[in-house]
Structure 1
């Protein structure tokens, strides 16, 4: 429970008061959709970084590697959230009424 309390507070604090009021008014589905859009943008940016690295257009290899690792971790987090949600759904469907 503590983890769920901390995530919106930190996200709202980082985004500012306008985003905090917008987040409070949105549903879970909208937050998931926004999270997936953000993840997709991060993965696309990583792909562009890789293309620039392959073309020799990137001067700072360290920054590219850090962004790639951030993208990998964000993708792993999204997969784990999906797995947990699927397990919870399956548990609910197995419940006897």
Structure 2
């Protein structure tokens, strides 16, 4: 119970502006990481196509990581849109 109370106290001390900035930073970092994985996948694929010495399995693994991270990002976006739409339908 003490851990739950500590989290509750911490949540109470964060203002809405701080929470928005924290969420914005978290989302920005996640999107940046997805972009980095996509760029790395593109570079390795291009290197393989140009005949540079790169292992095929490295290219495939990098491509799958990029694909999975992009799909996860899309699903998170879809859930956020659904939540927003649900909130907008609520009557006050």
Task: Quote the Cα distance in structure 1 between the aligned partners of 2:30 and 2:52.
Answer: 30
Aligned position for 1:96: 91
**1:87/1:58 CA distance change after superposition, 3 Å:** farther
Task: Quote the Cα distance in structure 1 between the aligned partners of 2:54 and 2:24.
Answer: 40
The answer to which structure, 1 or 2, has the higher relative contact order (CA under 8 A, 6+ apart) is 2
Q: 2:69 aligns with which of 74, 89, 94?
A: 74
1:57 and 2:56 correspond: no
Matches within 5 A, 1:10-49: 27-49=22-44
Instruction: Give 4+ residue runs of structure 1 displaced > 2 Å after superposition.
Output: none
> Cα RMSD over matched residues?
1.0
Q: Where in structure 1 are there 5+ consecutive unaligned residues?
A: 1-25
Query: TM-score w.r.t. structure 2 length?
Result: 0.75
Q: Secondary structure at the match of 1:27?
A: helix
Deviations 1:8-51 (A, max 9, x none): xxxxxxxxxxxxxxxxxx61111000100111111011110111
**1:58/1:68 CA distance change after superposition, 3 Å:** farther
Larger radius of gyration, structure 1 or 2?
Answer: 2
Task: Quote the Cα distance in structure 2 between the aligned partners of 1:70 and 1:87.
Answer: 26
